[in-house]
Amino acid sequence: MLSDYAPILVFLGFVLLFAIGVPSLSAALGPRKPSPAKDLPYESGIVPRESARRRFSVSFYVTAMLFIIFDVESIFLFPWATIVRQLKVFGIVEIGIFIATLLVGLLYVWRKGALRWD
Amino acid sequence: MIGGDEWWVLLIKIVVVVLGLVTIAAYLTLAERKVSARIQLRIGPNRVGPYGMLQPAADAVKMLFKENTAPSNRDRLLFLVGPSLAAGAALLSFAFIPLGINNWFNYQFHWDVGHANVGLLFILGVSSYGVYALFLGGWAANSKYSLLGGLRASAQLISYEMAVAFALIGAVIIAGSLDLEQIVHAQQGAWFIVLQPLAFLLYFTGAFAETNRAPFDLPEAETELVAGYHTEYSSLRFGLYFLGEYVNMVVVSSIATTLFLGGWLPIFPFHPFDWIPGPLWFLGKVAVLIFVMMWVRWTFPRLRYDRLMSFGWKVLLPLGLVNILITGTVVALRA
């Protein structure tokens, strides 16, 4: 039921109050002595030459894409998991085909080298 | 009435949970320092109060009065959002975790903020927001260490999120429900760690990666990335990241307790074990799991990043899927 989530809304309010209030409090109480050196990002003592927002390894993109695929599968597995007993053999065959497809897909990206980091 | 409670009961619950989690997280930092000290044959903090018991309070006050430094070319909004989201998501994901049920004078009292029939999905969904906190915070700072830490953290968290979800499905199949209270009730005969040892192992291993703890603490590997995604944070903004990390430890241990260690159920269902109230059993089991997490951190060296990722994708993920298939087959054939 939707009313089950009403306490969560109230809880969310308190959590927001805490998560926003605490850093504001420290911003209000802490000292403020700006200096040019404090404005620079930390790079182990070297003065930074360029912006940090540059291109990064393609493996991160690949991981993100694979994540989307497999995470959507887990959403299909949860409803099935709650009614395994009612579906009996029919459910097993269906989910067996589903998971086998997934495993073949995983094997494919594995063999293609999408999971390699170097 | 809000949910199943009077409004003032709910208010007390919420205040107790928020303050309780923050206090527990603060004392976990002390516990971590004490445990690491014991393992390394040191004494650990012992100056502030007896046995250093007031150290967390001293740390909090000190952080409160520190300057908020930040790089000037940061993304101002996202830089503020990061720490609040990290702590907020961690605190919010504790809402549905049931610590016990009591019957007092025909009044059923649930030791949780709320309960819903898809409590487990809610926890998984909310804790995913932690990924945004780490990545946005790391990206917003416009520092190379932060960016690399944030990238690593997000890739690691999303990879292990699936492994963790697949491991949990094993327990869900046996319980036949996503309602956390019903999952605990289903364990009255045998805890799911007995029926699903592999799933527990997969979940607990994944939990180390989900909480960015050693041996999977690559996002903040200090020898290469200084402090990872929170390199540029100071004062209580850094404190909120820290808080989020320790609250996350409590959350993953609570999920493991609820799904595999029988939640608030006593070890043996007879006297004198059932004289101890359920919430105490629950917190005791959580404490044991958290101790194991600390013990592991100070015992094992850190993995290399490529090994970490291939371990998640090539070991945990296929094992989780196979576990789901086997568990599902056995349960369906016996039904």
Specify the CATH number for the domain of residue A19. 1.20.58.1610
Shortest Cα distance, chain B CAs vs residue A20, angstroms: 6
Q: Determine the residue of chain B that is closest to A107 in CA distance.
A: B314
How many CB atoms within 10 Å of residue B300? 12
Please name the member of B67, B144, B321 whose beta carbon is closest to the beta carbon of A30: B67
Mean pLDDT by 10 residues, chain B (335 residues): 74 87 91 90 86 88 85 83 89 87 77 83 87 86 84 87 89 88 86 87 89 78 76 85 90 92 81 79 91 90 84 88 89 81
Q: Is residue A117 part of a domain?
A: no
Please name the member of A51, A81, A115 whose beta carbon is closest to the beta carbon of B172: A81
Give the model's pLDDT for residue B3: 65
How many CB atoms within 10 Å of residue B11? 14
Q: Determine the residue of chain A that is closest to B90 in CA distance.
A: A15
Q: Is residue A89 part of a domain?
A: yes
ipTM (interface predicted TM): 0.84
Give the model's pLDDT for residue B148: 85
What is the count of structural domains for chain A? 1
Boundaries of every domain in chain B: 67-108+115-334
Does the distance separating the beta carbons of B73 and A51 come in below 8 Å? yes
Chain B residues inside the 8 Å CB shell of A82:
172, 176-178
Q: Inter-axis angle of helices B235-260 and B7-39, to 10 degrees?
A: 100
Does the distance separating the beta carbons of B147 and A19 come in below 8 Å? no
Overall pTM > 0.90 = no
Tell me: the pLDDT tens digits for B205-257? 998 888 888 788 777 777 777 777 888 888 888 888 889 889 999 999 999 99
Range of the domain at A34: 2-112
B170-186 as b/e: b if 16+ CB within 10 A = bbbbbbbbbbbbbbbeb
Does the distance separating the beta carbons of A6 and B114 come in below 8 Å? yes
Give the model's pLDDT for residue B291: 93
Q: Is residue A21 part of a domain?
A: yes
Chain A residues inside the 8 Å CB shell of B178:
78, 82
Cα B217 to Cα B297: distance, rounded to the nearest angstrom: 9
